[in-house]
A = this chain, B = another copy of it.
Amino acid sequence: MEEMEVPAKRGKREQTKVNNRKAILAAARSIFAELGYGTTTVRDIIRRTDLASGTFYNYFQSKEEVFQALMDANALEVRPHLIETRANARTFEDLIEGTFRVFFDYLARDRGAFEVLRSNAGAIRVRMDTPEIVAGFDELQVDIEKAISDGLLEPVNASYLTAAAVGMAFEIGDRMLAQEEADVEGAVKFATSLIMGGVVKLSNPDSP
């Protein structure tokens, strides 16, 4: 019996191209998580595949570009869920809570995906704001602005509020992952309460 092959809908060429790209990304993800971004080399990545060094450059220009592709892949995976969650939100609290839950949930489920930007013992922590990721931040900001104009939220500085939510998400997410059993619900509740209480105070500075 012949080797069973994937149907190869549109040519063998296209198929291997997709496979090679995936292989490089997978290798990169594992080696970045292992050695950290700074110390891994393009050769380290390619050595984890059965491709030649030259082939790497048919797919990416540099390790920086592979890293960007990995981050974009993360963003592409989460963004639709974030968008959908917020689209269904009927209150500002739904919006914020949903955002944190989707994000923390993804972190906990797919630890490896974000392992790269966790701080490896006194080593360098690296983060890249790719167009996809920036777009995700912008969407949050737009949704916050919309919540304000819809009257779900008192007027506040949406840029700073977005920044605050993003900073909290990454930093609290990091601490959440530091424990072996990630307490997603606890992190969601904490972050949400902080923001929700915060906006009350922001729009009403003389409360308790």
Which residues of A are in contact with B by a Cβ distance under 8 Å? 37-38, 64, 67-68, 119, 122-131, 157, 159-161, 163-164, 166-172, 174-175, 186-187, 190-191, 193-202, 205, 207-208
- CA of A56 to CA of B67 in the docked complex: distance in angstroms? 30
List the B side residues contacting A67 at CB < 8 Å. 124
Question: What's the dominant secondary structure at chain A's contact region?
Answer: helix
Cβ–Cβ contact B164 & A191, under 8 A? yes
Cβ–Cβ contact B168 & A172, under 8 A? no
Closest CB pairs A-B (n = 5): A197-B201, A167-B167, A167-B171, A194-B198, A163-B171
List the B side residues contacting A126 at CB < 8 Å. 124-127
List the B side residues contacting A191 at CB < 8 Å. 160, 164
Q: Nearest-CB distance from A96 to chain B (Å)?
A: 12
Contact check: which of B119, B160, B172, B201 meets A175 at CB < 8 Å? B160
> Assuming A38-B64, A194-B164, is B208 touching A200 (CB within 8 A)?
yes
Cβ–Cβ contact A168 & B174, under 8 A? no
- CA of A202 to CA of B187 in the docked complex: distance in angstroms? 12
Cβ–Cβ contact A123 & B128, under 8 A? yes
- CA of A205 to CA of B195 in the docked complex: distance in angstroms? 12
> Assuming A125-B129, A126-B124, is B190 touching A196 (CB within 8 A)?
no
- CA of A196 to CA of B200 in the docked complex: distance in angstroms? 10
A170: nearest residue on chain B (CB-CB)?
A: B167
List the B side residues contacting A64 at CB < 8 Å. 38, 123-124
- CA of A128 to CA of B126 in the docked complex: distance in angstroms? 8
A-B contact pairs, 18 of them (CB 8 A): A64-B124, A122-B129, A123-B128, A124-B126, A124-B127, A124-B128, A126-B126, A163-B172, A166-B171, A190-B202, A193-B201, A194-B194, A194-B201, A196-B198, A196-B201, A197-B198, A197-B200, A200-B200
